[in-house]
Amino acid sequence: MTNLLKSVLENQNYKSFYNCNSKINTNKTNKSNKNMTGSIIGSAAGIAAGVAAVYSIAKKGNPQLKLKNLTYEEKDVLIMGAGSVLGGLAGGLLTDDDKNNVKPKLREASQQFFGCLAAPLSLLALGNHALKKHNVTKTAPKVGVVLASLFGGMEIGNFVMNKVNNKIFKQEVKHDVKPSDYLLHFDDLCLTANMILKDVKSLSGITSKILPATLILAGTKTGIKKDADCNH
């Protein structure tokens, strides 16, 4: 009888432990989903604000321009990218109760903007300037310059930002760019296509419409960054 009672109590304790863990895991999942949703909404709002700013600037030079016909240059992508990162950061901070995640999010924001956007876009602007200066019209050199600028700039930007962020945040974290990471940078790949196909109106129009939406990745990655995954 004693053994039977002991067995029942142990089973009840196990169930209680399981239910408790289940509630904790469910709570963590709910918080994570809330943080993800907030980051996505914030990033989308930031991109929308960026598009509005780019459109407003473009309309000053062309009052008849319609939003659907808006195309983007490097500086425009930088404006929308900044909106994405800042919006995602704001949304992420507002929906994440863990104060330990503030610093990782700030670090990721600088990494995304300077390392993954500003550096490659700056090189791309220089590359495009060189192509125009030498009146290069062939597709092959354009493709080479665009790809080298974007992916080379991303490598250089991340290397520099690793050094800078390690000094600022007093924490040694290595932010490597792996070959598989390039597959996640749909914004850069879309920008590549947009730059290469900008003279083909039917195709450049498609990539221009897709481009703002792809920038949501930068803001979302910023907003959901946590202290636990700061080692990448």
Structural domain contains residue 85: yes
pLDDT at 76 over 80: yes
The pTM assigned to this predicted structure is 0.78
Range of the domain at 60: 33-229
pLDDT at position 4, please? Answer: 46
Confidence of residue 201 (pLDDT cuts 50, 70, 90): low
Structural domain contains residue 27: no
Q: How many CB atoms lie within 10 A of CB 165?
A: 22
Structural domain contains residue 10: no
3-state secondary structure of 62: coil
Q: How many CB atoms lie within 10 A of CB 194?
A: 23
pLDDT at position 165, please? Answer: 79
Structural domain contains residue 127: yes
Instruction: Name the domain count of the chain.
Output: 1
Query: In this structure, what DSSP letter does residue 1 have?
Result: -
pLDDT at 193 over 80: no
Structural domain contains residue 100: yes
Name the residue among 71, 50, 49 with its Cα closest to residue 61.
Answer: 71
pLDDT at 173 over 80: no
- Residue range 100-110, pLDDT digits in tens: 999 999 999 99
* More reliable by pLDDT, 9 or 37: 37
Name the residue among 149, 152, 135 with its Cα closest to residue 195.
Answer: 149
**Distance (Å, rounded) from C-alpha 94 to C-alpha 109?**
15
Structural domain contains residue 22: no
Q: How many CB atoms lie within 10 A of CB 118?
A: 19
Q: What percent of the chain stands above pLDDT 90?
A: 33
Structural domain contains residue 82: yes
**Distance (Å, rounded) from C-alpha 89 to C-alpha 223?**
5
Structural domain contains residue 218: yes
**Distance (Å, rounded) from C-alpha 228 to C-alpha 35?**
15
Confidence of residue 34 (pLDDT cuts 50, 70, 90): very high
